[in-house]
Amino acid sequence: MRASSTLDEIRRAAAPHGLNLVAATPVARYDATVKEVSRASALDRDARSIVVIGNGGGALWASLKSHAARNPGWWNRENPLDDFTREVVERDIAAPIRASGARCTTVYPFMSNGPTLSFIELGKVAGIAGPSILGVTVHPLYGPWIAFRAALLLDEELDEPGIAKGFDPCPQCTARTCIPACPAGAVSLESGWDIPKCLTHRVEVEPDCTPRCHARAGCVLGPEHRYPDDELAYHQMRALRSMRPYYEAHIKPTRQT
């Protein structure tokens, strides 16, 4: 398969599931930006390029809801969105690539049992998203309403960055409505996202941010692509679940001394 046809096939297979952001970068370009532990060559020494797969807006969530409706009990899983992502990527994207005789190693941002990639750096290099002061990456069209879902390490040379290559909007933004939107005052232009302040507010004043991250919702980019309310609540619940242990171990003790 030609490089362009490979990406075309990946996009064609991903799009029906709401995985509408696909871009590619050579392994060497990405590896040069990260520490050795996060290099793609450490996961697959024969890989020559990385295809990044993400979602923008609520299409992936809509696809998940349709899938869950056809599969009773899906919402009872510990990680219904991650499981759905893995099923789609492995079945509809990676399997056809491998069937063609090409090498394909899949990597997910929710992997926690071994080495993985730095998806934030990968997203920047591949032009999927740029940095922001919110603690999340942003896209020219979808704003902060994006997420990285998977990466494919392939043994062919691909180099087709997305439209966010070099995108860095916050320094030039004049509205900065995200800053006053945060009830914890955890966002600033000078220092970006204040993690301890955010976590403290989320854990100690939980109901205030349960429905959504107010700063993220206050971003001027892509408001029409904001996730549906039930998806926002899902992500906020899961974020809080991971924040609590860190708060208890690292922040609460210092507040009590």
Distance CA 85, CA 55 (A): 10
Going from the C-alpha of 54 to that of each of 51, 154, 199, the distances in angstroms are 10, 17, 26
Segment holding 193, helix H or strand E = strand 192-193
> Contact at 8 Å (CB) between 212 and 237?
no
**pLDDT value of position 2:** 44
Give the HSE-up count for residue 53: Cα atoms under 13 Å, Cβ half-sphere. Answer: 29
**pLDDT value of position 257:** 64
Closest among 29, 36, 35, 32 to 52, alpha carbons compared: 29
Give the global pTM.
Answer: 0.94
Q: pLDDT 10s digit of each residue in the chain, 257 long?
A: 445 689 999 999 999 999 999 999 999 999 999 999 999 999 999 999 999 999 999 999 999 999 999 999 999 999 999 999 999 999 999 999 999 999 999 999 998 777 899 999 999 999 999 999 999 999 999 999 999 999 999 999 999 999 999 999 999 999 999 999 999 999 999 999 999 999 999 999 888 899 999 999 999 999 999 999 999 999 999 999 999 999 999 999 888 76
Domains defined along the chain, listed by start: 3-154 (3.40.109), 173-256 (no CATH)
